[in-house]
């Protein structure tokens, strides 16, 4: 979704990790990544989630859960 390859990798990582989930929270995403022994800075995750929302890849409900 952009020119920064590392940012694109984080975007793809989030999409692939959550594709089978109906919804997830930020904390659940971090737990999921840790289960797979992946470490991503929380600020990078936040920026990536924002990009994915802007690109209409993910949505967020009023409770803050992503879908």
pLDDT of residue 2: 52
Residue 29: which domain range?
5-54
Is 62 domain-assigned? no
67 belongs to a structural domain: no
Counting the structural domains of the chain, the total is: 1
Give the whole-angstrom CA distance, residue 58 versus residue 35.
Answer: 22
Does the model's pTM come out above 0.95? no
So what's the pLDDT on residue 39?
87
Note the pLDDT of residue 46.
96
Q: Which long-range contacts (CB under 8 A, 24 or more apart) does 41-48 make?
A: 44/7, 44/10, 45/10, 45/14, 47/7, 47/10, 48/7, 48/10, 48/11, 48/14
Residue 60 lies in a domain: no
**Tens digits of residue pLDDT in 1-59:** 556 888 999 999 999 999 999 999 999 999 999 998 998 899 999 999 999 999 999 99
Q: What is the pLDDT of residues 45-55, one digit of tens each?
A: 999 999 999 99
Domain-located, residue 63:
no
Residue 26 within any structural domain of the chain: yes
């Amino acid at each position: 979704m952009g020119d920064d390859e590392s940012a694109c990798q984080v975007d793809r990582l989030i999409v692939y990790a959550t594709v089978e989930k109906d919804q997830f929270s930020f904390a659940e995403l971090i737990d999921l990544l840790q289960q797979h022994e992946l470490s991503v800075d929380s600020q990078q995750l936040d920026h990536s989630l924002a990009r994915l929302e802007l690109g209409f890849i993910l949505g967020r409900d009023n409770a803050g859960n992503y879908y």
